[in-house]
Amino acid sequence: MRKLIIVLCILCSSLFFINPIKKLTYANDNNKINQQNELTVEQAKELLLKYNNKVDYIYQGDASNFEYLKSKKLQGYVFLPDVDTDIGYFVDKQNSNIYFFHPSGYLELAK
């Protein structure tokens, strides 16, 4: 019985040598990687102008300049509208979300 199993295994494995696999498929060939681009400062300002084009926006720095944003591990840009206000805008450079922002810790999704 053992000899029969060994002979069958040898015969089956020899089929692979006689009829080689025509196309090898590697995991990386089938996986498409979509690289998401991060917003630049200029693109973030353009996004704000699309959100509200009645005012101009003044760049105040990126998230690393503000303790609250750093503590939340957010990445993006802070702008102040060119009007008399203390509420600015934070534009997340990963997902393009616009937030109302104040350095004291106020952060609310605007759109």
Per-residue pLDDT of the chain (111 residues; tens, 9 = 90+): 877 778 777 766 666 665 555 555 555 555 666 666 889 999 999 999 999 999 999 999 999 999 999 999 999 999 999 999 999 999 999 999 999 999 999 999 996
- Two tokens, residue 99: 């937030």
Q: Are 41 and 77 in contact (CB under 8 A)?
A: yes
- Two tokens, residue 55: 């005012």
Question: What is the pTM (predicted TM-score) of this model?
Answer: 0.66
